[in-house]
Amino acid sequence: MKTKKKILTIFSIIGFLILAVSLSAFNVTPNLDEGYMPQPKWKNLKVLPQDITKDSLDNLMKGYTVALGVKCNYCHMPSKTDPTKLDFADDGKIEKEIARGMITMADDINEKYFKPYFPDPKPDQVYVVACIMCHRGAPNPEKYLSQMHMAYKTYNPDRDNRKEKEMEERQKQ
Ligand code: HEC
Ligand code: HEC
């Protein structure tokens, strides 16, 4: 009888130890910053900062799709190994190269002509002129802008069109 009790006690101690160890495993390294993710290694950034965070890059890219009314594949090539995916580092599309110039242009305009007069609280991210200001949901803004004068020619005469007439008069002068 006594040995049976001893064995039981030993087993329950072992059981307790296993439980204690497995519970503590959940708590060995307390995660101080839940949102922390290792910084991705960007492969082919030529104009954006090399240390840009994933969140910031994602937001920028989503912003471009909204501003131009396109999807990611408007600027990014399909992957050569898996064509159902995009290869974001590939420079095969001219649209990506044009976009690099547009990013630089918008940065320059902000840096030279806005920052001195409208400083942003975050000096490195002065953001006054953005893609959407010109593009307004279209990849080729000059195409619809060149149609703008047509809007005045086709106004509805029953509408209050004093403003349109005023502008037509001004254009004739
Ligand atoms: C208007 C064009 C355009 C659109 C649309 C666009 N991108 Fe980009 N993307 C770029 C350019 C330009 C770069 C390179 C920037 C540089 O050289 O610094 C880039 C770079 C990237 C990179 C970094 C690749 C690397 O490691 O070098 C990722 C990831 C990326 N884009 C994801 C996306 C996703 C996801 C979308 C859709 C939500 C998207 N892009 C839509 C133009 C675009
Ligand atoms: C100052 C106005 C302006 C701003 C700001 C601007 N763009 Fe553009 N963008 C244009 C015009 C105009 C064209 C069309 C040029 C043409 O086709 O003759 C164009 C063309 C493009 C094209 C090529 C489209 C095609 O398929 O032909 C891409 C890509 C592009 N812009 C991306 C961007 C991105 C990304 C930004 C923001 C970083 C941006 N643009 C900011 C005016 C602007």
pLDDT in tens, 83-131: 999 999 999 999 999 999 999 999 999 889 888 887 665 555 557 899 9
pLDDT, average across residues 50-78: 96
Mutational test site, ligand 1, from 50, 52, 61, 102, max ligand atoms within 8 Å of CB: 61
Please tell me the distance from the alpha carbon of residue 111 to that of residue 166, in angstroms, as a whole number.
37
Pocket of ligand 2 (CB under 6 A): 64, 68, 95, 98-99, 102-103, 106, 129, 131, 133-135, 139-142
**Regarding predicted confidence, which is higher, 46 or 152?**
46
**Confidence band (pLDDT; 50, 70, 90) for 28?**
very low
- The domain in which residue 69 lies consists of 54-147
Q: Kindly give the distance from the C-alpha atom of residue 105 to the centroid of ligand 2, in angstroms, as a whole number.
A: 10
- With respect to residue 65, please indicate whether it lies within any of the assigned structural domains: yes
Q: What is the share, in percent, of the chain residues with pLDDT greater than 70? A: 67
**Confidence band (pLDDT; 50, 70, 90) for 162?**
confident
- With respect to residue 49, please indicate whether it lies within any of the assigned structural domains: no
Three state DSSP letters for 132-146: HHHHCCCCCHHHHHC
Q: What is the share, in percent, of the chain residues with pLDDT greater than 90? A: 46
- With respect to residue 88, please indicate whether it lies within any of the assigned structural domains: yes
- With respect to residue 118, please indicate whether it lies within any of the assigned structural domains: yes
Mutational test site, ligand 2, from 70, 102, 125, max ligand atoms within 8 Å of CB: 102
Average confidence score pLDDT of the chain: 80
The total domain count for the chain is 1
Q: Kindly give the distance from the C-alpha atom of residue 88 to the centroid of ligand 1, in angstroms, as a whole number.
A: 6
- With respect to residue 8, please indicate whether it lies within any of the assigned structural domains: no
Mutational test site, ligand 1, from 51, 75, 98, max ligand atoms within 8 Å of CB: 75
What's the pLDDT score for residue 108? 94
Half-sphere exposure of 169 (CA within 13 A, CB side): 6
What's the pLDDT score for residue 95? 96
- With respect to residue 11, please indicate whether it lies within any of the assigned structural domains: no
Query: Is the distance from CB of 64 to CB of 75 less than 8 angstroms?
Result: yes
- With respect to residue 115, please indicate whether it lies within any of the assigned structural domains: yes
What's the pLDDT score for residue 48? 96
- With respect to residue 172, please indicate whether it lies within any of the assigned structural domains: no
Query: Is the distance from CB of 141 to CB of 135 less than 8 angstroms?
Result: yes
pLDDT, average across residues 156-168: 74
